[in-house]
Structure 1
Amino acid sequence: MMQEPLNTNDPEVFNIIQKEKRRQTYSLSLTASENFTSRAVLEVLSSCMNNKIAPQSFRYSGDADSVDELEHLCQQRALKVYGLDPEKWGVNVQPYSGSFANFAVYTSVVEPDGRIMGLDPCDGGHQSHGFIMDKEKFSATSIFFKSMSYKVNQETGYIDYDQLEEKARLFKPKLIIAGTTSYSRNLDYSRLRNIADENGAYLLGDMAHISGLVAAGLVPSPFDYCDIVSTSTYKTLRGCRAGAIFYRKGVRSADAKTGRETLYNLESLICEAVFPRLQGGRHHHSIAGLAVALKQAMTPEFKAYQVQMLANCRTLASSLIEKGYKIVTGGTDTHLFLLDLHPNGIDGVRAVKVLQDCAIGCNKSPCPGDSALHPFGLRLGTPALTSRGLVEEDFCQVAELLHRSIQLAVEIQMNMNPKSSFKEFKETLAQDKNYQNRVREIRDEVEAFAGRFPMPGMPEL
């Protein structure tokens, strides 16, 4: 049994995986947080590194030399990828995810009920940065810490830094988060640094979405201004599912009169927050997978991938604008953008349902001014399809398939009572033969188109 392959040991699970592999192969993933990792990373994840338990700091076993060597290698590569001086920066590569990494940062530098400011999730921020709606605390961050969100300008869609500055003066946060999840523009880290300094706050750069772009030098780097930088590792960085926390070392500030220096004390605080406060043993297979991905991130091929991903995203955005769609902020600086469906008369929930049936994947997301419970946006990104080899001309075809699917959703909604529920929308879509034929026609085209591009990874799984 221990040496038996999956297809004979558990054919039921094997068949489910095969079904999912087929879906991924013959569909178009425009989910901005999805990507395909390499075969080498997948091989590491299924290696003997999965077997070992060796928590950091408190060693329960004396045979941890190889996993320590692996972790040190991963740390060295992480610093090298981003051009960081080991005397001035350290990194913890143990977090299980980007959200875990963020919570470890809060635990380390913000006292319980301490104050945090992050971009509102309804304006492009992430739930792990704090999210309160109608006094309901949706995020664990908001349960254990006091959070106040900053906003974008409702007209332009750009972050309102003046309002952020005013709010920070009143709220006096201990930590300000510079990070996004559906905001398509580069952040003004210099302005955020000034606001943090004015309030004696730490500045955390959450580069979960843009870590690959930062590594390639194609977007402004949070390392130039932030005290701490967190990231997930599977999005544009194209690694496995894990997280990392970078932290400054050395001098934090110096008194202008006396010259007395204040040193950073982040390393012990952050490492102890990760283990033992929040996590148990290290996931060595994930650390190994990250190490492999970081080596790949230092290659010319990786840089070319990032350049192509940006070009593809701009092509997709411009193609949709030419078809009459509205994009929040009018464009993008990164690998994603937010399509505003208000002018089309359809919400994101209904649009996503039709797109899924047509074998196109993406996320519903609030546009500025939306309720999180009734979003009118679609977050679209190009990391996954770029990994499959699509270039600009291919994304013109993707835009056309998107357009036809969204127009079908609009048509269905227009032929229904404006007050009809999402359940009624789904029933109409499922029961109307004309709509089902239209869906099948688009899906067949999507599958034929997507099937032309190879799916990275293992041949069978």
Structure 2
Amino acid sequence: MENAVRYLTQYDPEVGALASAEAKRQQRTLSLIPSENYTSKAVQLALATAYANKYAEGYPYVWSDGSREDRRNGRYYRGQEYTNELERLAIRRALQLFTPDPGEYHANVQPLSGAPANLAVLSAFLKPGDTFLGLALDYGGHLTHGHGVNITGQYYNAVQYRLNDSYELDYDEIRRLAKQHAPKIIFCGATAYPLRISFRQLGAIARETGALLVADIAHICGLCVTGCHEHPFPHADIVTTTTHKLLRGPRAGLIVCKKPYGAAIDRALFPGLQGGPHMNAVAAMAVALKEAMSPDYQRYAGQVVRNAKRLSKLLQEEGFKLMGGRTDNHLLLLDVVGSAGGLGAKDGSWLAKQWETAGIVANKNTIPGDTRPWYPSGVRLGTPAITTIGMIDQDMVHVAEWIIRATRHAENETELRRIRDEIGQFMEQFAFESFYV
């Protein structure tokens, strides 16, 4: 980061100073937000290439008679020789990484993030007022799975399913709702669900009720493609994901689907929802997809899960209540109000703020029963970022100790500052220079 920031600071001292401060913050705190990660230098360099200058509305192909035709240029601007090659490369890598049979699937690498990807899928197959099923936000779902404050819950008839009393997906209840409401789409996947998802069972429900199954795997895509979690294909018809979480790519989205649904999704995204794609983000995505096919990434994904399991066990031993009772993936959802480990926390928002003073960065999160989303009872944390920098099972002992102390002394600023200093010193052993250009 030093060389890039030095150059930037010479040109724009204000932005350069902010970028330098942010890099130092990242290097001296525990990044435990499960949707954050560190990109490689190669991903960052791809974002800074000449592709940042190019407008590329359209696609490097056109659809003809229901099948994609790669030999024709579907762009609306000229000068697309290398944007076309780049996008085709990113598509090939996405199909190679995400699908069991690339010839039977289609990929769209243009979504600006996960929310536009989800909206594109809904608008491709639903008309306003049509019904779809999605997991409720306070049970671990995402805003774009039909929450009332989101456009997906306003344009469409979003029926929300919930988890059972053990914080597990209730497949019988999902089947009952699907039979009752006859949705055109069933959305699955979550942002705060620590247990395994059975795409096989959900696929059977979708086929039984005539719905398309859309798997939003933004949080677990890296686990799905490495065999650390059940893969949504072939059970799902469509998969959406972000590329900046476990995948360690740019802040962007990706849609992979069975080929018959490709044309409708492409048209829904462009010209339906977006104009020109961010081609520098597509370049960075292509790099991240290549990295995710390496043996190193396979080892990384497994370590993410091992770290999460070790951390969850250590926190449970100290009285923290884990929603679902455990974790099967990369994240933990703590009920910090209703557990002994929370030691009287006012709410998740307050505790996350106190943790940040101690150098522990997590996020507040709703749990079932919460009625005030800005002051929920939960805190969500995960291990993707700290695993990227090199932490292993044994390091979770330190992480758990700091979380426990910061919780017990949440109103003692002197102790919180002491923990922050300890964390800063601990972080010096990790090679952050590997992640900054």
TM-score, L = length of structure 2: 0.91
Q: Which residue of structure 2 aligns with residue 87 of structure 1?
A: 103
Q: Secondary structure at the match of 1:231?
A: strand
Q: Does 1:218 align with 2:195?
A: no
Q: Does 1:437 align with 2:414?
A: yes
Q: Which residue of structure 2 aligns with residue 184 of structure 1?
A: 194
One-letter amino acid of the counterpart of residue 366, structure 2 = P
Q: Which residue of structure 2 aligns with residue 39 of structure 1?
A: 41
CA distance in 2 between counterparts of 1:106 and 1:451 reads 46
Q: Which residue of structure 1 aligns with residue 64 of structure 2?
A: none
Q: Does 1:330 align with 2:325?
A: yes
Q: Aligned-pair distance for 1:446?
A: 1.6
One-letter amino acid of the counterpart of residue 353, structure 1 = K
Q: Which residue of structure 1 aligns with residue 120 of structure 2?
A: 104
Q: Secondary structure at the match of 1:147?
A: strand
Q: Is the 8 A contact 1:357 1:439 kept in 2?
A: yes
5 Å-filtered alignment, 1:273-352, equals 273-341=268-336, 342-343=338-339, 344=342, 345-346=344-345, 347-352=347-352
CA distance in 1 between counterparts of 2:137 and 2:310 reads 26
CA distance in 2 between counterparts of 1:446 and 1:239 reads 26
One-letter amino acid of the counterpart of residue 321, structure 1 = Q
One-letter amino acid of the counterpart of residue 369, structure 2 = G
One-letter amino acid of the counterpart of residue 320, structure 1 = L
Q: Secondary structure at the match of 1:246?
A: strand
Q: Which residue of structure 2 aligns with residue 395 of structure 1?
A: 396
Q: Secondary structure at the match of 2:254?
A: strand
CA distance in 1 between counterparts of 2:432 and 2:183 reads 45
CA distance in 1 between counterparts of 2:154 and 2:160 reads 14
Counting aligned pairs with the same residue, the percent is 39
CA RMSD of aligned residues (A): 1.5
Q: Secondary structure at the match of 2:308?
A: helix
Q: Which residue of structure 2 aligns with residue 271 of structure 1?
A: 266
One-letter amino acid of the counterpart of residue 351, structure 1 = L
CA distance in 1 between counterparts of 2:387 and 2:436 reads 19
Which digits, 9 at most, give the CA deviation of each residue in 1:290-326, with x for residues without a partner? 1001111111111011111111111110111111211
Q: Aligned-pair distance for 1:191?
A: 1.7
One-letter amino acid of the counterpart of residue 307, structure 2 = N
Q: Which residue of structure 2 aligns with residue 415 of structure 1?
A: none
Segments of 4+ moved more than 4 angstroms = 456-460
Q: Aligned-pair distance for 1:158?
A: 0.6
Q: Aligned-pair distance for 1:198?
A: 2.4
Change (3 A) 1:111 1:193: same
Q: Does 1:149 align with 2:160?
A: yes
Q: Which residue of structure 2 aligns with residue 353 of structure 1?
A: 353
Change (3 A) 1:446 1:183: same
Change (3 A) 1:362 1:320: same
Q: Secondary structure at the match of 1:63?
A: coil
Change (3 A) 1:179 1:459: closer
One-letter amino acid of the counterpart of residue 354, structure 1 = Q
CA distance in 2 between counterparts of 1:99 and 1:456 reads 32
Q: Secondary structure at the match of 1:330?
A: coil
Q: Which residue of structure 2 aligns with residue 446 of structure 1?
A: 423
Q: Which residue of structure 1 aligns with residue 79 of structure 2?
A: 63
One-letter amino acid of the counterpart of residue 294, structure 2 = T
> Please, which moves more after superposition, 188-197 or 315-324?
188-197
Q: Which residue of structure 2 aligns with residue 374 of structure 1?
A: 375
One-letter amino acid of the counterpart of residue 385, structure 2 = A
CA distance in 1 between counterparts of 2:327 and 2:209 reads 31
Q: Which residue of structure 1 aligns with residue 8 of structure 2?
A: 6
CA distance in 1 between counterparts of 2:274 and 2:43 reads 23
Q: Which residue of structure 2 aligns with residue 168 of structure 1?
A: 178
One-letter amino acid of the counterpart of residue 72, structure 1 = R
Q: Aligned-pair distance for 1:357?
A: 0.9
Please identify the structure whose Cα radius of gyration is greater: 1
Q: Is there any run of 5+ residues in structure 2 with no aligned partner, and where?
A: 1-5, 60-73
One-letter amino acid of the counterpart of residue 374, structure 1 = Y
Q: Aligned-pair distance for 1:458?
A: 5.3
Q: Is the 8 A contact 1:388 1:456 kept in 2?
A: no
Q: Is the 8 A contact 1:38 1:456 kept in 2?
A: no
TM-score, L = length of structure 1: 0.87
CA distance in 2 between counterparts of 1:452 and 1:328 reads 33
Q: Is there any run of 5+ residues in structure 1 with no aligned partner, and where?
A: 132-136, 250-263, 413-434
